[in-house]
Amino acid sequence: MKFKLAITLACWIISFSLLAQKKEPIGLIKTSEGEIYIQLFEETPNYRKSFIQLAEANYWDAFTFNRVIPNFVAQAGCPDTAEGFNDPEYLLDPEFVKGITHVYGAVGAGRDDNPEKRSATCQFYIVHNQSGLHRLDNNYTVFGQVIKGMDVVDRIVFKKRDEKDEPLQPVTMDVSIVYLTNSEIKKLIGG
C-alpha cells in the first residue's frame, strides 16, 4: 500500500512539474518603435495556428504597419487591395467566441466585406481604443491579446500619417513566436 501511494505521489509530482513547464506560443512583434507581445487564444485554433505558421515562415518581415488610426487600430500585414482578399490560402472562416471581444489591445484578423466574414490571416490589427471596439464583435475574429507593449502601439498609432492613414515613416516589423512557460509569461507582464 505504501509503495502504491509513493508511486502515485511520484507520478503526480512529475505530472505537475511537466505541466508547470508547458510552453505557450507567444507572438513577438519587433518593430522600429519597440516590442509587442501577443497571447494567442486556444479558443480560436485555426487563427492561432495560422499566425504561428506565418510568423515562423517570416511572412510578415517584409511588411509594415500600413494603417494607423489613434483610438481605433494599428493594422499590419498584407495591404488592402481594391479587389479585396481573394487568395484562398490565406482566408479563414470566422471563429467568434463568446467572451472574446474587441477590448483594448485585442488582436484581430482583417477582412473585406465578404458575406461569409472570412478573414485574411495575412493581415492583423491591434485595437487602440481604451473603451474597445465592440461594434466589430462577431464581425471580425479576435484571436489574441497584447500582454506587453501597448506603449509601443501608442507610439505607432500617433505617427504622422497620410490621407490613407499610412505612417509617413514606415514602421517595420519582424514577427516571430517565442515559447514561454506560465511563470515566464507572468514575469514578462510583471505579474
Contact 156, 167 (CB under 8 A): yes
pTM for the model stands at 0.85
Residues 6+ apart with CB under 8 A from 137: 96, 101, 102
Contact 156, 34 (CB under 8 A): no
Please give the CATH superfamily to which domain 23-190 belongs: Cyclophilin-like (2.40.100.10)
- Tens place of pLDDT per residue across the chain (191 aa): 555 554 555 545 555 555 557 999 999 999 999 999 999 999 999 999 999 999 999 999 889 999 999 999 999 987 655 544 555 566 899 999 999 999 999 999 988 888 899 998 889 999 999 999 999 999 999 999 999 999 999 999 999 999 999 999 999 999 999 999 999 999 998 86
